[in-house]
Structures are given as structure tokens and as C-alpha cells.
Structure 1
Amino acid sequence: MITENEWLGIAEERFSPYRNIITKSGYLCGTSAATTFLCYYQDYFSNTIVPEHIRKPGSQETKALQDLLRVIIQPFDFPTISLQVSHGLSRYFRLFQLPFRARQTPVGGIQRVKKRLAQGKPVIVGLMKLRGSTYGNHWVVAYAYKKDETGKEWIKIHDNWGNYRKVVPASWINATVSLP
């Protein structure tokens, strides 16, 4: 149980190595978020989730993984919905015969975020312009959550634009993609 203004989740320093994973063009934020997500899982949960010929655990070299995920998740550089990101990750897992399957929550998702962060697991989060997101519709990786003294909920994210310590309102969340 956490108290008000206490962050629940993962220490932000763990996301510093991924600060250079950015969305370089177009609508590839789903691919960038998936890259950050898989790198974290490889470094902290399962070093085989990314084959070593694509990325070595702890490496900051992520181009090969990002390029592969782009082909699998966003081959046409179109905006994505949670189904595409989760299905793309699951296709990636099948391609390498890995025992994982991505889950998605197409609407809402704050409960999924809190549950996964309580387990120390990051979550790919879709932020929505209609919910107030200054990023517009954008995929990021959430790694910490808190409720402030006024009852407002916040998440700490790696934003795929170079900021791995960004704090945004949880009310911007539209969808999530995670691993069980």
C-alpha cells in the first residue's frame, strides 16, 4: 500500500539507458515504446526476450531491435491502436518462439498500470489527445505511478522524445499494452 505523493513502480534511473530510444519520424511511437519495453525486460527480467544477435543485454545499441519491430508492428508508418501494438509484440514473440504474449486494454487502463507497476513491470501506455495529452495521441512507457494529496493520479514515463523522467496526468491514458 502506498501513501499520497509516494511513487509506486520502478526507479527512474533504470530508464536512463533507454533515453536515446526516440521516435525519429512519423507515427512510429508504438515501435519506439515497444523497443524501450523489450529492452527493459531483457535487462531486468529475461535476457532471452531479445536474441543476442539483435541486442545484447545492457547494450545501448537498439537500432536493430527498433528496425525489426517497425516491420512487425508498423510496416506502413501509420498511427497504431493498442491491438496493433500488442498483436505486433505477440508476433515478435512467436517469431523467436518465446513464451510470452502481450496483453492490451483498449480503453482506460489505469488499473492495469497500477497492477503491473506494483509488480515492478513497466507498461506501454497510449496517451490520448482528446483526454488532454499535450503529446497528442502517443505511445510511451510508464514505469511509476502516484496519487497526490488532491487525489489526482500521475504516471512517470519514458516519452520516446528524449525525456525518460516525464510526469503526466494518468487521466491522459487511453490504452495499455503489457506482459502478464
Structure 2
Amino acid sequence: MTITNEWLGISESEFYPYRNITTKSGYLCGTSAATVFLCYYQDHLVKTIVPEHIRQNGSENTKALQDLLRVIIQPFDFPTISLQVSHGLSRYFRLFKLPFRARQTPVGGLERVKKRLLQGKPVIVGLMKLKGSTYGNHWVVAYGYKKDETGKEWLKVHDNWGNYHKVIPASWINGTISLP
């Protein structure tokens, strides 16, 4: 990709409604990131990806969805790896007989992030402390990408710690979860 210093992907204003989706305790960042991810899909891409009795399209009330995903993805509040989050989302899709299956990259994934963002699709991104992440090991939702004039690559993410427009180095990526 040769374009530099220009954000590609989804507008940050589309993630403003999810600003209050946060990790409230423990290690539930995988669940929080999955909640943001599914809300975006419901509001902008596939209206039926979340049943209406769980969350109304466009609603900022996400408690029922987040509670359900916690049971499916992280029932014991332990830290997660990409396989757990992707399998949890796939279990969610099977539960509601939805024609989706989450895909994961257990290591790296920047090319997948770029490809999905150019398609207008967000990506759940794992961050790794050993790669410099100031969040430690954490899950976020990426919706923007850019390469600056020095060649350094950046992501714009919903961090589920209360910042829906955080900019982080792409070098922190350690795995991704996406839909084809």
C-alpha cells in the first residue's frame, strides 16, 4: 500500500455509539471487543447478526449482548487467545443459526486487517505486551489504518477502556478475528 498519512477504513464517527462498551472487570476484553464488533455489523452491514430481542439496531443498550457473549466466550473471566474468541463467536453464530463463522489469525494479521478495513469491515485485534503494547495483552476493534511518511503503520481502534478513537502502532498486533 503506497498511500501515506491518510486513514483508510471506516469513519471514527461510526464507532462513537459504542463508546460506552467497556471492559468493566477482569479479563473480559475479548467479550467487550466482540460486542463492539457485532454491534457495528448489526448497525452497518448485517441487520440480523444480533437478534432484536437481544439488541435493537442502533441502540446503545448492549448489556444483554455483552452478558450473552461473556457466557459464550469467557465464562470464567480468564484471559483469552484468538482461538477462544473466534470459536466463541462461531458458537454464537451457531446458536442463532446465522450463516457466519469467525476467522482467526493466531499470530500477526496486519494484512488481514488492511484487507478487511478496505472492505469496510472492522477487525478484532489482539495486542501483545511483548510487542510493546501499553495495554498489555488486550483485545480491541480496529476500524482504521494508515502508514505515515516514515513508513510506520498505525491503527485506529475502539479500545474498550473508554476510548473509541485511540491510535496505536500496528506493530502491537498479535492475532486477529474477522468475518470473511
Q: TM-score range by the shorter chain?
A: over 0.9
**In the alignment, which residue of structure 1 is the partner of 2:15?**
15
Structure 1 stretches of 4+ with a deviation exceeding 3 A read none
Give the match for residue 89 of structure 2. 89
- 1:45 Cα deviation after fit: 0.7
Equivalent in the alignment of 2:172? 172
**How big is the shift at 1:48?**
0.6
Return 2-11 or 77-86, whichever deviates more. Answer: 2-11
Amino acid of the residue matched to residue 53 of structure 2? Answer: H
Aligned: 1:40 with 2:49: no
RMSD: 0.7
Give the whole-Å Cα distance in 2 for the aligned partners of 1:165 and 1:158: 6
Name the CA distance, whole Å, in 1 between partners of 2:45 and 2:111.
22
Amino acid at match of 1:173: I
1:89-122 CA deviation, whole Å, 9 max, x = no partner?
0000000000000000000000000000010000
**1:65 paired residue number:** 65
Aligned to 2:100: 100
- Separation in 2, partners of 1:78, 1:3: 40
Q: Partners in 1 of 2:81 and 2:18 — Cα distance?
A: 23
The residue number in structure 1 matching 2:141 is: 141
Normalising by structure 2, report the TM-score. Answer: 0.99
Matched residue, 2:116: 116
Amino acid at match of 1:42: Q
Unaligned runs of 5+ in 1: none
The amino acid of 2:91's aligned partner reads R
What is the CA–CA distance in structure 2 between the aligned matches of 1:147 and 1:78, rounded to whole Å?
34
SS at match of 1:48: helix
Aligned residues with identical type, % of pairs: 84
The residue matched to 2:14 in structure 1 has which SS?
helix
How many angstroms apart in 1 are the aligned matches of 2:107 and 2:144? 20
- 1:2 Cα deviation after fit: 5.8
Give secondary structure in 1 for the equivalent of 2:177: strand
Q: Is residue 143–residue 155 contact of structure 1 (8 Å, CA) maintained in 2?
A: yes
Inter-CA distance 2–40: structure 2 relative to 1 (3 Å threshold): farther
1:3 matched to 2:3? The reply is yes
Measure how far apart 1:3 and its partner are: 1.6
